[in-house]
Amino acid sequence: MKLTINGKPYDVAPKHRDVRLLPYLRDHLGMTGTKFGCGVAQCGACTVHVDGLAKRACQLVVGELAGASVTTIEGLADTHAKGELHPVQQAWLDERVAQCGYCQPGQIMSAAALLGENRRPDDAEIRKFMKGNLCRCGTYDRIVKAVKNAAQKGASR
Amino acid sequence: MTDKQMKQRGLSRRRMLIGSGLALGGIVAFTSGCSLIPPIPNSAASTDKDAASWVRLRPDGRFEFLNPRQEMGQQVATGLRQVVAEELGVPPEAIDILQPNTNQIPPARRTAGSDSIRLWALPLAKASAALHVDLGRRAAKRLGVAAGDLRATEKGFSSTAGKTITYKELAAIEPGVISAREIQAARPKSLRPGTAKRWVGKSPPPDEHRNIVTGKTLYARDVRLKNLAYGHVFHPPVPDAKLRKVSGGKAASLPGYVALVVEKADALLGTGAFVGVVAETPFDLEAIIEAVSVTWSHPKPIQQKDIDKMIDVDLALKGSGMEHTLVSGDVRDKGKWDVDARFDFPFAAHAPMEPRAATALVADGRATIWTGTQDAFFVRMFVARVLDLPEAKVEVRCQRSGGGFGGRALIYVEPEAARLAAKTGRPVKVQWSRAEEFRNSFSRPPTTQRVRARLTKDSRIADWSHAIVSGPILYPSAIPSWVHPVIDLLSDKGVSRSAASPYQAERTYTGFSDIRLPIHTGPWRSLGAASNVFAIEMAVSALARRAGKDPLAFRLANMAPEQKRLARTLKRVAAMAKWDETRPPVRSQSGHGIACGIYKGAYISYVADVRIGGSGQARVERVYCAADCGLVINPDLVRAQIEGCIVWGIGMTLSEEFSIEDGTPAPENFDTYNLPRITEIPSMSIEMVGAGENEPTGMGETGMVAIGAAIASAIVEATGKPVQRLPIRAA
């Protein structure tokens, strides 16, 4: 079974078909940018893109992703332009969003997916889409600003 | 006699112990430093001598700052580096930040209590100033000029005659060494209020942000080592359970099985019996956990209603009163009170986004621990004791923490990984689930409080009486039980933090009781201050209503004269919110609340605008904040801390709570413990007041005081109903 992650093909061993994508990424492949926060799709820390849509990696079974293209925070910049940050990542730097930073890969992946669907989301649309991403440090106000900042600069997935 | 029997007989444990003479012997054992005592966190502040190892010129000519504070989101290294930059006269980017291991710097106290700027900036500034003086002296010697003829540049030094020497050239000649004497003699300029500064007071970008947004930052959960194995620990159902039976079942025959580890309880260390398993991969681990059966026995577990009784302020007041007095005043108990209000606060969780994790490698009589902690040297001490190694043979490698908030001040996961690593000879990672994080760590204790106050005829405060009963905070239940008789003699200053009223009354009494609970409690952002100031400020607003006065005017009229800085933040926030002009009539389903408070030498005032939604649930629409923490080193980082505290204040006031079921916290995940989400966040206006006028203090927790009372006062105004307990549910 084959799976594409950040543009690279991976052969999934039979013993890994039943495992969840999150530990597969983190513990098997060593791609630790995608975070564990709750394990039950309540916090959004493990958000990745599957064929461009925001998904919680803790809920995905690897064997059900045959042929799919997965993008993680490590590969996000390359979906935009080689050697540069994705506009959402850049907006996160501009607005100085992160405190502890642990939830931010998931926040950024959600925001990038939102802008892929909706180039100019308004305040309410941003909040509605990002509601599944928890941040205990309380960076929400800056997250809203950063998504708007990225939208203004024409971010698309 | 058990605690329960004593309680039934109305005896306080403290009085019993004093009477029996046990207490004094206990104190001697506690403070003598003998090896039998359990590991106790280092509480000494860092010294000038310690600071000598925090900053250096590397052989490659770059400066290096070894940050003695732990990173958990406050980004203290970024702010402290500005202090180093100011003293050295080089841009912050010219200074590399290193998060040192425990063998790279002298022991430093835990990162907690908003102390990192207040207590660490000055020794750091002095060490940096001393280093600069020393480098200048050596540059003058090298160039053959008098020290007075030398001018510092961003790259090094130049003489009036035009000779130059760079830091790189200086570093190549000889390594820089600064002595404690030079540090003591140093005259740092970076923290002096009221002087022009180049780097202090600016907001350079936080140093780790680029790694965070690209997923490169390594938190404790992200540590990976060659030959890494994965461990899991079977936690007892309640903290004091006894291990009865362990059966490995078919675990040993399952793929990836490495070991089943069982160790006895250690009363001296205060650790219970230990049962853990190790597997080759996290995927193997799941089935192995399933196969193992562990049986515990314990007395009938405590329930929430039992705890409610233990911390009931009214029961305590009817009984023997408060155990400790913070402010003693001869308050007149007779006669009618103008305000007689009770406030109940539930258990609350830290719930950092990263559930705790640690990786350990124990080999050749040495241990290495990778973790995210607020107290690396306590981890070193604790793990050394658990493994019976000298502390010098234990090294703690500090990863950035995915949130702290007090929750990583105590030790849980590191000795677990260490035991499993020691038994298997493999590097072992233990990563807690969210359920373990909620149920097996510790939390903010519940507290109940009563404030009674009486007005004079001219609307001043005549009598003020504030009683607080809380679970322990600074002397947490996780401390070994044999030490309890001693610590029960001490008053828990975490419980009473910020409980002294900033208002002037003719007679003031503030007292508190710290009641040991069979549930692990401890420090949570701002300790007792958020609850204590909530009670004070709600009672003051109620007094203002009773007096028929505006809550701002009443506060300013009754504030103690020495609280000028607090009064200034109040006036400023009122101006920002146009306080007098926008107040709607009472019970219009929207309201404005104002409140203020002090936390460790920092001052803050809030105005909150609240609307009650169709469901009856309050929504905070706008928050104004004026704060004064003295000299501000990095305004954007200070602002970020206040933004975080506003979100925490919304959680504390409107949604966060849990109860105890069968001796353990009930929630297992975020579906049953409600953190604020992005849909609940108000717009925020934040201003700093008097930023250059006083010595720097802290802002990591100050924002927690008064935000709750500002929101709750607005809800009282909107609904006309009093608030007696948090969180405030739909009206």
Q: Do residues B542 and B353 lie in contact, with contact meaning Cβ atoms separated by under 8 Å? A: no
B403 with A40: Cβ contact below 8 A? no
* Stronger pLDDT, A124 or B44, i.e. the higher one: A124
Is there a cis peptide before residue B41, judged by omega within 30 degrees of 0?
Answer: no
DSSP string, B422-441: HHHSS-EEEE--HHHHHHHS
Contacts of A122 (CB under 8 A, 6+ apart): none
DSSP string, B104-117: TS-----S-TT-HH
Would you state the pLDDT for residue B176? 67
Please indicate if any CB of chain B lies within 8 Å of the CB of A112: no
Contacts of B307 (CB under 8 A, 6+ apart): B446, B471, B517, B519, B660
Would you state the pLDDT for residue B34? 34
Q: Do residues B506 and B678 lie in contact, with contact meaning Cβ atoms separated by under 8 Å? A: no
Is pLDDT above 60 for B7? no
Smallest Cβ distance to B678: which of A15, A99, A127? Answer: A127
> What is the Cα–Cα distance from A134 to A139, expressed in whole angstroms?
10
> What is the Cα–Cα distance from B211 to B228, expressed in whole angstroms?
24
Would you state the pLDDT for residue B85? 98
Please indicate if any CB of chain B lies within 8 Å of the CB of A33: yes
Smallest Cβ distance to B433: which of A26, A39, A139? Answer: A39
Other C-beta atoms closer than 10 Å to the C-beta of B463 total: 22
B27-31, B395-399, B645-649, B710-714, range with the lowest pLDDT: B27-31
Please indicate if any CB of chain A lies within 8 Å of the CB of B672: no
Average pLDDT over residues B71-77: 96
B222 with A26: Cβ contact below 8 A? yes
> What is the Cα–Cα distance from B159 to B144, expressed in whole angstroms?
10
Residue reference for tokens 């409107």 = B654
Please indicate if any CB of chain B lies within 8 Å of the CB of A20: no
B75 with A99: Cβ contact below 8 A? yes
Smallest Cβ distance to B353: which of A27, A32, A45? Answer: A45
Please indicate if any CB of chain A lies within 8 Å of the CB of B210: yes
Best residue in B286, B353, B623 for a mutation probing chain A (most A CBs within 10 Å): B353
Tokens of B173: 């000649």
Provide the residue type at B441 as one letter: S
Cross-strand partners of B512: B324, B468
Smallest Cβ distance to B282: which of A23, A92, A143? Answer: A23
Residue reference for tokens 């994790």 = B357
Provide the residue type at A59 as one letter: Q
A105 with B215: Cβ contact below 8 A? yes
> What is the Cα–Cα distance from B241 to B715, expressed in whole angstroms?
43
B73 with A140: Cβ contact below 8 A? no
Q: Is A105 helix (H, G, I), strand (E, B) or coil?
A: helix
DSSP string, B477-529: TTS-GGGHHHHTTS--TTTTTT-S-SB-EEEEEEEEEE---SS-B---TTTTH
pLDDT tier at B180, thresholds 50, 70, 90? confident
Is pLDDT above 50 for B22? no
Q: Is B557 helix (H, G, I), strand (E, B) or coil?
A: helix
Would you state the pLDDT for residue B175? 66
Q: Is A25 helix (H, G, I), strand (E, B) or coil?
A: helix
Average pLDDT score, chain B:
92
Smallest Cβ distance to B205: which of A96, A134, A135? Answer: A96
Tell me whether strands A47-50 and A53-56 are parallel, antiparallel or unpaired: antiparallel
What pLDDT digit, counting tens, does each position of B667-701 carry? Answer: 999 999 999 999 999 999 999 999 888 999 999 99
Q: Do residues A108 and A92 lie in contact, with contact meaning Cβ atoms separated by under 8 Å? A: yes
Contacts of A9 (CB under 8 A, 6+ apart): A2, A3
> What is the Cα–Cα distance from B362 to B418, expressed in whole angstroms?
7
Smallest Cβ distance to A27: which of B215, B282, B400? Answer: B282
B434 with A33: Cβ contact below 8 A? no
Residue B17 dihedral angles phi and psi, to the nearest 5°: -70, -40
Best residue in A18, A123, A141 for a mutation probing chain B (most B CBs within 10 Å): A141
A102 with B404: Cβ contact below 8 A? no
Distance from CA of A69 to the nearest CA of B (A): 19
Residue of B57, B46, B185 whose CA lies nearest to B106? B46
The alpha carbon torsion through B479, B485, B490, B491 (nearest 10 deg) reads 80
What pLDDT digit, counting tens, does each position of B413-459 carry? Answer: 999 999 999 999 999 999 999 999 999 999 999 999 999 999 999 99
Would you state the pLDDT for residue B642? 98
A139 with B643: Cβ contact below 8 A? yes
Residue of B198, B194, B1, B170 whose CA lies nearest to B84? B198
Which chain A residue lies closest to B213 (C-alpha atoms)? A89
Residue reference for tokens 């000779």 = B163
What pLDDT digit, counting tens, does each position of B591-607 carry? Answer: 999 999 999 999 999 99
**Which residues of chain B lie closer than 8 angstroms to A73, CB-CB?**
213-215
Which chain A residue lies closest to B671 (C-alpha atoms)? A42
Would you state the pLDDT for residue B3? 42
Taking one residue from A and the other from B, the number of pairs with CB-CB distance under 8 angstroms is 171
Segment 68-107 of chain B within 8 Å of chain A by CB: 72-75
Average pLDDT over residues B216-224: 98
What are the C-alpha distances in Å from B499 to residues B327, B463, B597, B673?
A: 9, 16, 10, 27
Would you state the pLDDT for residue B729? 87
Smallest Cβ distance to A89: which of B214, B354, B648? Answer: B214
Reported in sequence order, the residue ranges of B582-709 that DSSP labels E, i.e. its strands, are 590-599, 602-612, 618-628, 660-661, 664-665, 683-688
A37 with B209: Cβ contact below 8 A? no
A39 with B669: Cβ contact below 8 A? yes
B221 with A35: Cβ contact below 8 A? yes
Would you state the pLDDT for residue B26? 30
**Which residues of chain A lie closer than 8 angstroms to B72, CB-CB?**
100
Q: Do residues A66 and A28 lie in contact, with contact meaning Cβ atoms separated by under 8 Å? A: no
Distance from CA of A13 to the nearest CA of B (A): 13
Which chain A residue lies closest to B70 (C-alpha atoms)? A100
> What is the Cα–Cα distance from B307 to B660, expressed in whole angstroms?
8
Query: Residue B21: left if φ>0, alpha if ψ -120 to 50, beta else—which one?
Result: left
- CB-based burial label for A45 (10 Å; 0-12, 13-18, 19+): buried
What pLDDT digit, counting tens, does each position of B517-540 carry? Answer: 999 999 999 999 999 999 999 999
Would you state the pLDDT for residue B479? 77
A74 with B209: Cβ contact below 8 A? no
Going B42 to B45 to B48 to B51, the CA torsion angle's sign is positive
A99 with B644: Cβ contact below 8 A? yes
Is pLDDT above 50 for B340? yes
Is pLDDT above 60 for A11? yes
Which chain B residue lies closest to A45 (C-alpha atoms)? B353
pTM here? Answer: 0.94
Is pLDDT above 50 for B8? no
Distance from CA of B255 to the nearest CA of A (A): 11
Q: Do residues B524 and B443 lie in contact, with contact meaning Cβ atoms separated by under 8 Å? A: yes
Please indicate if any CB of chain B lies within 8 Å of the CB of A142: yes
> What is the Cα–Cα distance from B731 to B720, expressed in whole angstroms?
10
B643 with A138: Cβ contact below 8 A? yes
Provide the residue type at B348 as one letter: A
Distance from CA of A138 to the nearest CA of B (A): 4
What pLDDT digit, counting tens, does each position of B473-516 carry? Answer: 998 777 777 778 877 788 999 999 999 999 999 999 999 999 99
Residue of B463, B685, B704, B513 whose CA lies nearest to B598? B704
What pLDDT digit, counting tens, does each position of A36-66 carry? Answer: 999 999 999 999 999 999 999 999 999 999 9
Q: Do residues A34 and A99 lie in contact, with contact meaning Cβ atoms separated by under 8 Å? A: no
Provide the residue type at A76 as one letter: L
Smallest Cβ distance to B675: which of A15, A34, A134? Answer: A134
Q: Do residues B513 and B488 lie in contact, with contact meaning Cβ atoms separated by under 8 Å? A: no
**Which residues of chain A lie closer than 8 angstroms to B219, CB-CB?**
35, 102
Would you state the pLDDT for residue B580? 84
Please indicate if any CB of chain B lies within 8 Å of the CB of A74: yes
**Which residues of chain B lie closer than 8 angstroms to A104, CB-CB?**
212-213
Other C-beta atoms closer than 10 Å to the C-beta of B578 total: 11
Please indicate if any CB of chain A lies within 8 Å of the CB of B670: yes
